């Protein structure tokens, strides 16, 4: 367990790395005693610093939703981070790749809440009832620490969240069986990945229920109006300047973005 001083120093290091566009040594190397509780505390302190600079929290992301990724990270549950208003892009956006360190793209669904969700004991049906609409989304993954990373490094690093791109068709959560929303992800005209949303914990709303329950003991909840990224159902695809990305969600439309 880390001291309050070490937690703040870790948060300040990540804040500067994000601001300056550079990577720093892994916090798990700098602070070998770091634990999961410390990592989330560092994430929270970093968020406070961003808010102090004028950023506004617009939602949460959920990561490590697949069993394979959890086993690779040696954990038994997903992780989460926060999303800020300056990290949200729309379909067709041209994004500067230099904003991120070694960015990668994942295919996801975003839930926009119409009602707050507060644990404990939130279930999938509670998430569906509280959701205003679901929309296709791409997550840009970006790390601010060097490799190899421990799970504590990823969590402290805001769960490696870089940005979100929203597009496609919005749907009510009961209009379709969202477990079977499928998508292909193309880079420069070549399909690199494909998947179906049931790969996210059996149901993309399951991760959101997990998050609401996870926040409850900390006195937190998911608020009405929040965007919640449910987790990827494809492997991440690396992107670089000049790349054009297209995600085809079939009946739910498509998202296109490019990197300069």
Residue-wise pLDDT for 193-237, tens only, equals 999 999 999 999 999 999 999 999 999 999 999 999 999 999 999
What is the predicted pLDDT for the residue at 53?
A: 95
Query: Strands 237-238, 244-248: parallel, antiparallel or unpaired by DSSP?
Result: unpaired
Where residue 73 falls among pLDDT bands split at 50, 70, 90? low
pLDDT at 68 over 60: no
Q: What is the pLDDT of residues 13-61, one digit of tens each?
A: 999 999 999 999 999 999 999 999 999 999 999 999 999 999 999 999 9
CA dist 119 and 128 (Å) reads 15
Between 66 and 127, where is the model more confident? Answer: 127
Preceding omega of 246 cis (within 30 degrees of 0): no
pLDDT at 185 exceeding the cut of 80: yes
> How does DSSP classify residue 115?
S
- Kindly indicate the confidence band of residue 64, based on its pLDDT and cuts at 50, 70 and 90: confident
Among 43-47, 65-69, 75-79, 226-230, which is the least confidently predicted range? 65-69
Read out DSSP for 167-231?
Answer: -S--B-TTTS-GGG-EEEEEETTEEEEEEEGGGTTTSHHHHHHHHHHHHGGGT--BPTT-EEE--
Give the confidence band of 77 by pLDDT, cuts at 50, 70, 90: confident
pLDDT, position 116? 98
pLDDT averaged over the chain? 95
pLDDT at 72 over 80: no
CA–CA distance from 231 to each of 52, 54, 150 (Å)? 28, 27, 19
Query: Is the preceding omega at residue 148 within 30 degrees of 0, hence cis?
Result: yes
């Amino acid at each position: 367990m880390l001291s309050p001083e070490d937690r703040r120093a870790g948060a300040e290091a990540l804040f500067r790395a994000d601001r300056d566009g550079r990577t720093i040594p892994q916090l798990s190397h700098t602070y070998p005693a770091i634990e999961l509780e410390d990592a989330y505390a560092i994430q929270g302190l970093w968020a406070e610093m961003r808010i102090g600079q004028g950023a506004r929290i617009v939602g949460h992301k959920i990561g490590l939703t697949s069993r394979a990724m959890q086993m690779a990270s040696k954990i038994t549950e997903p992780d989460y981070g926060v999303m800020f208003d300056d990290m949200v892009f729309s379909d067709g956006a041209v994004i500067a790749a230099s904003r991120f360190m070694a960015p990668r793209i994942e295919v996801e669904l975003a839930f926009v809440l119409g009602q707050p969700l507060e644990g404990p004991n939130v279930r999938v049906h509670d998430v569906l009832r509280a959701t205003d609409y679901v929309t296709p989304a791409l997550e840009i993954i970006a790390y601010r620490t060097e490799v190899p990373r421990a799970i504590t490094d990823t969590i402290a690093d805001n769960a490696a969240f870089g940005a979100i791109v929203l597009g496609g068709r919005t749907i009510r959560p009961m209009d379709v069986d969202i477990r079977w929303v499928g998508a292909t992800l193309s880079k420069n005209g070549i399909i690199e990945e494909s998947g179906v949303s049931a790969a996210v914990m059996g149901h993309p709303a399951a991760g959101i229920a997990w998050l609401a329950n996870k926040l409850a003991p900390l006195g937190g909840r998911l608020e009405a109006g929040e965007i919640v990224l449910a987790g990827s159902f494809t492997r991440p695809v690396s992107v670089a300047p000049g790349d054009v990305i297209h995600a085809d969600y079939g009946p739910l439309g498509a998202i296109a973005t490019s990197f300069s």
